[in-house]
């Protein structure tokens, strides 16, 4: 059946493919406006499907030149989404399909299929981009070996697999591993490579290349190092070795996503490859390390074992995120990594789960699959795997993964296959656990404690609020890691994992002569929201003494959140002295990891506070939150000034630059101290730091600290002069001044910068750096007159005409619209409605805006 645009696809409608593909041979004659693609596909009937099917091939925006079956020309007429060959016109046995199509990569601004970026040809096929290249059954459960010939005068011609032959103006590649079409890739351009090699544990010598534009080759060293570490780690921890003789990575400037795991030819947004100490922040280095590893890890979790259909997306993405989190923990610090991951989970996934876009880790339907590469599928998906590991234990987790790899290698799988290996190797029934995959929303766990006559009773209750399309929720299996701390700070009950598997659970501990302090949800053992009226005094004890580093952090964070919330609701102006004292202890504790101290010193952000206030039944006012947060920062800085000065000095990183976690942590704490000091020293420390900075972390940190106090104009001009030739640093120049603009200036500044000659809105990174940055400046975006909403909606509509996927991804800035006060809600809703009724709105945007409006 032809897909009808804008109609949802349902998981329940899955049918196995009627035809399988034995092999694919493609020839590309590259031309900016008239590329020819010749394809030869050997089909056979799928024994697992019923007989008598027509042959349906997907194809979009293709100009069909010719088509044949077993050499006989076909007079088939394509429709808008593909073409059909009637069953009666098909041979009984296997057959050869041949076609030639013409496409125009130069005009492809959607950056999906075959497109061009700075004169280079490049592809992006996940999820359904291959159908914009040639006619094909473009679904992940059709796997085939590919052979590719590229004809072009460009010097570098790349595709998946191993190179087999080349000459002037052509090259041939062969990928022996059967793969779905979404993993196909082709690159052609004037590129230079950094080359290295890696010998696998199986003794295979693998050539490694990172391909970049001439002039960028000095910025690839960190990515290459990260790649080799990721390859070694996957061998050592998961027993997975690389399986081709060559691994290519290409950096491209115009890319919708972060990076893509095409077999043997990963394609990256250049911002996640290129880095030098002068141009990249420590956060950039960490992102590069993580994404290089993530895409590499997909070689097994995604490519060798892929998804049966796109509803199973978390099977590869949730698992690969979990693996990259483990890797980063091993490379850097598990405690710091866990805190950072939970902060992103709450900021992105809890926010999604609490609003109109809430959906299960395995959705039941979608209109546009590109809209489901979400925090829920990725980050919550990774949390589910973390919980499985906790429930079965490390050893059984390893056994389950070994079974998964051996049983399913070369297959397209489902969440059921995944759960089954855990049931078998984990030795327990997981049917209740499986509900996590189908039930949307973040469970809330209410905690009550009782201590009497030496007996301590802990009671947990779970509840999940309704989400769109799911009014009734069932109890989940929630692993709750907990421990008890004495009033003197010593641990009296070490970590144990409670399983909350019904509406409530009570546990009792005897022989406790003094009232213990509860340390609950250690390591953030489940993605839930705790409601626990714990006293500030108990939290201070946890902050100072908990053996669980995550809960130490969490104790400080919840103190800060409650305090700021009280300041906003009661409009008191001073943070409590206890809180400041607790922070001082952490700030000055030289036995603590500087990265941890830097995190602990960061107050909850605008969005976290808005969410907390909304949860507590208020209508948050982003401008009031901003002002209260500023005043709290000032009070903190005043109280901690001498300590901040000392810490800033102690955290200097003398000697040659290192991107190591250790040095990055020191820089983070220094930058944090300098930013706080700016609140009380008129920016003196920040100006000095800017002047001496020899890393981007310090330079940008100092400049944004000045912007935060309404200064920094001169530094901004200097920054621009120095970096106008570097497109990635220029993104930072745009983004920083908008994100750190004072609320009343943010919209006007954004408007001005959209007229800047370097604002290239068709480049996804630049669009995000300008329009996305306004969304990240909450008090600016939520300007009471609605000017921010209007400006962003205008730009989303313009971008939608060129690149629907990028527009849809940026549209989530509107997802929290129901949180705000009546006037803002009306203005936000009006913009959503204006977008919804825009003529020619894409399917991508149509689905997002419709869901946000609650249609």
- Which parts of this chain interact with ligand BES (CB under 6 A)? 126-127, 257-261, 290-291, 294-295, 298, 317, 321, 370, 373, 378
* CB neighbourhood size of 33 (10 A): 10
Report the residue number, 260 or 841, with the smaller CB distance to ligand BES.
Answer: 260
Q: Which residues bind Zn ion (CB under 5 A)?
A: 317, 320
Cβ(464)–Cβ(472) under 8 Å? no
Report the residue number, 317 or 607, with the smaller CB distance to Zn ion.
Answer: 317
Report what 257 binds from Zn ion, ligand BES, none; CB cut-off 5-8 Å by kind. Answer: ligand BES
Task: Find the shortest distance in angstroms from Cβ 340 to Zn ion.
Answer: 18
Task: Find the shortest distance in angstroms from Cβ 834 to ligand BES.
Answer: 27
Report the candidate in 362, 528, 382, 353 with the shortest Cα–Cα distance to residue 441: 353
Shortest Cβ contact with ligand BES: which residue? 258
Q: Which residue has the tokens 């295979």?
A: 204
Q: Cα(544)–Cα(283) distance, rounded to whole angstroms?
A: 27
Task: Find the shortest distance in angstroms from Cβ 320 to Zn ion.
Answer: 5
Does 295 qualify as catalytic in the annotation? yes
Report the residue number, 117 or 320, with the smaller CB distance to Zn ion.
Answer: 320
Task: Find the shortest distance in angstroms from Cβ 85 to ligand BES.
Answer: 29
Report the residue number, 378 or 814, with the smaller CB distance to Zn ion.
Answer: 378
Written as one string, the DSSP assignment of 377-392 is IIIIHHHHHHHHHHHH
Report the candidate in 699, 13, 75 with the shortest Cα–Cα distance to residue 366: 13
Cβ(467)–Cβ(358) under 8 Å? yes
- Which uninterrupted H or E stretch holds 493? strand 491-500
CA geometry: angle 155, 156, 162, nearest 5 deg: 140
3-state secondary structure of 249: strand
845: left (phi over 0), alpha (psi -120 to 50) or beta: alpha
Rounding to the nearest 10 degrees, give the CA dihedral for residues 226, 231, 236, 240: 150
Report the residue number, 303 or 695, with the smaller CB distance to ligand BES.
Answer: 303
Which backbone phi and psi does 255 adopt, to 5 degrees? -150, 130
Encoded tokens for 718: 């200097």
Cβ(704)–Cβ(676) under 8 Å? no
Q: Cα(255)–Cα(251) distance, rounded to whole angstroms?
A: 9
Report the residue number, 259 or 476, with the smaller CB distance to ligand BES.
Answer: 259
Q: How far is CA 28 from CA 36, 147, 252, 541, in A?
A: 6, 11, 20, 66
Q: Kindly report the length of the chain.
A: 855
Which backbone phi and psi does 295 adopt, to 5 degrees? -65, -40
For the sheet with 491-500, list strands across it: 491-500, 478-485, 517-520
Report the residue number, 126 or 698, with the smaller CB distance to ligand BES.
Answer: 126
Cβ(442)–Cβ(353) under 8 Å? yes
Report the residue number, 413 or 564, with the smaller CB distance to ligand BES.
Answer: 413
Report the residue number, 298 or 819, with the smaller CB distance to Zn ion.
Answer: 298
- Which uninterrupted H or E stretch holds 415? helix 415-426
Report what 308 binds from Zn ion, ligand BES, none; CB cut-off 5-8 Å by kind. Answer: none
Report what 259 binds from Zn ion, ligand BES, none; CB cut-off 5-8 Å by kind. Answer: ligand BES
Task: Find the shortest distance in angstroms from Cβ 115 to ligand BES.
Answer: 14
Task: Find the shortest distance in angstroms from Cβ 289 to ligand BES.
Answer: 10
Task: Find the shortest distance in angstroms from Cβ 805 to ligand BES.
Answer: 8
Encoded tokens for 365: 């339907």
Report what 128 binds from ligand BES, Zn ion, none; CB cut-off 5-8 Å by kind. Answer: none
Task: Find the shortest distance in angstroms from Cβ 787 to Zn ion.
Answer: 37
Task: Find the shortest distance in angstroms from Cβ 407 to Zn ion.
Answer: 22
Q: Cα(264)–Cα(262) distance, rounded to whole angstroms?
A: 6
Report the residue number, 326 or 467, with the smaller CB distance to Zn ion.
Answer: 326
Task: Find the shortest distance in angstroms from Cβ 378 to ligand BES.
Answer: 6
Report what 260 binds from ligand BES, Zn ion, none; CB cut-off 5-8 Å by kind. Answer: ligand BES
847: left (phi over 0), alpha (psi -120 to 50) or beta: alpha
Q: How far is CA 305 from CA 181, 297, 312, 320, 323, in A?
A: 14, 11, 12, 12, 15
State the pairing for strand pair 144-151/72-73: unpaired
The active-site residue out of 126, 128, 261, 295 is 295
- Which uninterrupted H or E stretch holds 595? helix 594-601
Report the residue number, 45 or 316, with the smaller CB distance to ligand BES.
Answer: 316
Q: What is the Cα Rg of the chain in Å?
A: 28
* CB neighbourhood size of 838 (10 A): 17
Burial classification of residue 51, based on how many CB atoms lie within 10 Å of its CB (0-12 exposed, 13-18 middle, 19 or more buried)? exposed
Report the residue number, 260 or 633, with the smaller CB distance to Zn ion.
Answer: 260
Report what 159 binds from Zn ion, ligand BES, none; CB cut-off 5-8 Å by kind. Answer: none
Cβ(84)–Cβ(55) under 8 Å? yes
Task: Find the shortest distance in angstroms from Cβ 268 to ligand BES.
Answer: 9
Cβ(500)–Cβ(521) under 8 Å? no
Task: Find the shortest distance in angstroms from Cβ 258 to Zn ion.
Answer: 9
Cβ(379)–Cβ(321) under 8 Å? yes
Burial classification of residue 793, based on how many CB atoms lie within 10 Å of its CB (0-12 exposed, 13-18 middle, 19 or more buried)? buried
Task: Find the shortest distance in angstroms from Cβ 766 to ligand BES.
Answer: 17
* Beta-bridge mates of residue 57: 83
Report what 290 binds from ligand BES, Zn ion, none; CB cut-off 5-8 Å by kind. Answer: ligand BES
Q: Which residue has the tokens 């420590």?
A: 282
Report what 800 binds from Zn ion, ligand BES, none; CB cut-off 5-8 Å by kind. Answer: none
Report the residue number, 292 or 358, with the smaller CB distance to Zn ion.
Answer: 292
Report what 373 binds from Zn ion, ligand BES, none; CB cut-off 5-8 Å by kind. Answer: ligand BES
Q: Cα(703)–Cα(701) distance, rounded to whole angstroms?
A: 6
Report the candidate in 785, 784, 800 with the shortest Cα–Cα distance to residue 771: 800
Q: What positions carry a catalytic annotation?
A: 295
């Amino acid at each position: 059946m032809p897909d009808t645009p804008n109609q949802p696809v349902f998981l329940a409608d899955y049918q196995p493919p009627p035809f399988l593909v034995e092999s694919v041979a493609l020839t590309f004659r590259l031309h900016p406006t008239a590329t020819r693609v010749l394809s030869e596909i050997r089909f056979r009937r799928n024994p697992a499907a019923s007989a008598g099917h027509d042959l349906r091939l997907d194809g979009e925006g293709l100009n069909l030149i010719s088509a044949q079956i077993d050499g006989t020309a076909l007079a088939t007429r394509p429709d808008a989404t593909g073409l059909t060959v009637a069953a009666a016109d098909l041979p009984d046995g296997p057959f050869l399909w041949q076609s030639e199509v013409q496409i125009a990569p130069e005009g492809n601004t959607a950056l999906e299929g075959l497109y061009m970026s700075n004169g280079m040809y490049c592809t992006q096929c996940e999820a359904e981009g291959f159908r914009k290249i040639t006619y094909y059954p473009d679904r992940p459960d059709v796997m085939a070996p590919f052979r590719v010939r590229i004809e072009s005068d460009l010097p570098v011609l790349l595709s998946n697999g191993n190179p087999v032959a080349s000459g002037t103006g052509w090259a041939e590649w062969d990928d022996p591993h059967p793969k779905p079409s979404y993993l196909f890739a082709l690159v052609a351009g004037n590129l230079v490579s950094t080359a290295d090699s890696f010998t696998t544990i199986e003794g295979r010598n693998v050539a490694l290349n990172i391909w970049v534009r001439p002039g960028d080759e000095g910025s690839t060293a960190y990515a290459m190092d990260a790649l080799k570490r990721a390859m070694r780690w996957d061998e050592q921890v998961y027993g997975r070795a690389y399986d081709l003789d060559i691994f290519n990575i290409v950096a491209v400037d115009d890319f919708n996503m972060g990076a893509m795991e095409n077999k043997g030819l990963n394609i990256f947004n250049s911002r996640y490859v290129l880095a030098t100490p002068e141009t990249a922040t420590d956060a950039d280095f960490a992102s590069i390390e993580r994404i290089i590893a993530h895409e590499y890890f997909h070689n097994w979790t995604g490519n060798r074992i892929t998804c049966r259909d796109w509803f199973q997306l978390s099977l590869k993405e949730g698992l690969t995120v979990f693996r990259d989190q483990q890797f980063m923990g091993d490379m850097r610090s598990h405690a710091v990594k866990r805190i950072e991951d939970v902060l992103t989970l709450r900021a992105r996934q809890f926010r999604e789960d609490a609003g109109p876009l809430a959906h299960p880790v395995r959705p039941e339907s979608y209109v546009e699959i590109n809209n489901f590469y979400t925090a829920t599928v990725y980050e919550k998906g990774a949390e589910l795997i973390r919980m499985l590991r906790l429930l079965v234990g490390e050893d059984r987790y390893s056994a389950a993964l070994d079974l998964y790899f051996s049983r399913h290698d070369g297959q397209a799988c489902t969440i059921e296959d995944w759960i089954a290996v855990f049931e078998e190797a984990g030795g327990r029934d997981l049917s209740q656990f499986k509900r996590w995959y189908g039930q949307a929303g973040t469970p809330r766990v209410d905690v009550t404690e009782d201590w009497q006559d030496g007996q301590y009773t802990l009671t947990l209750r779970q509840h999940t609020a309704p989400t769109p399309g799911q009014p009734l929720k069932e109890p989940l299996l929630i692993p709750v890691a907990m421990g008890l701390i004495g009033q003197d700070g010593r641990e009296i009950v070490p970590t144990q994992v409670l399983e909350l598997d019904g509406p409530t659970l009570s546990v009792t501990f005897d022989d406790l002569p003094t009232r213990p302090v509860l340390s609950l949800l250690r390591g953030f053992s489940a993605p839930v929201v705790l409601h626990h009226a714990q006293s500030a005094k108990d939290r201070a004890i946890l902050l100072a003494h908990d053996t669980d580093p995550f809960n130490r952090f969490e104790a400080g964070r919840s103190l800060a959140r409650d305090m700021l919330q009280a300041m906003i609701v009661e409009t008191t102006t001073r943070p409590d002295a206890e809180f400041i004292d607790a922070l001082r202890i952490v700030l000055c504790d030289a036995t603590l990891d500087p990265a941890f101290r830097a995190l602990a010193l960061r107050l909850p952000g605008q969005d976290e506070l808005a969410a907390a206030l909304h949860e507590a039944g208020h209508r948050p006012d982003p401008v009031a939150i901003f002002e209260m947060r500023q005043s709290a920062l000032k009070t903190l800085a005043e109280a901690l000034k001498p300590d901040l000065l000392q810490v800033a000095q102690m955290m200097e990183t003398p000697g040659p630059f290192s991107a190591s976690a250790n040095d990055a942590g020191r820089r983070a704490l220094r930058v944090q101290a300098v930013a706080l000091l700016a609140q009380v020293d008129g920016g003196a420390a920040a100006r000095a730091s800017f002047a001496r900075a020899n890393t981007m972390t310090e330079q940008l940190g100092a400049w944004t600290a000045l912007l935060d106090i309404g200064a920094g104009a001169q530094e901004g001009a200097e920054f621009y002069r120095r970096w106008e030739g570097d497109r990635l640093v220029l993104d930072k120049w745009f983004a920083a001044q908008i994100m750190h603009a004072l609320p009343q200036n943010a919209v006007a500044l954004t408007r001005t910068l959209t007229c800047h000659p370097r604002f290239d809105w068709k480049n996804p990174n630049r669009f995000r750096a300008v329009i996305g940055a306004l969304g990240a400046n909450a008090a600016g975006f939520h300007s009471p007159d609605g000017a921010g909403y209007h400006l962003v909606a205008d730009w989303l509509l313009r971008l939608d005409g060129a690149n629907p996927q990028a527009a849809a991804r940026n549209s989530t800035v509107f997802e929290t619209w129901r949180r705000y006060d009546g006037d803002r809600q009306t203005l936000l809703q009006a913009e959503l409605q204006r977008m919804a009724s825009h003529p020619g709105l894409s399917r991508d945007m149509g689905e997002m805006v419709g869901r946000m409006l609650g249609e």
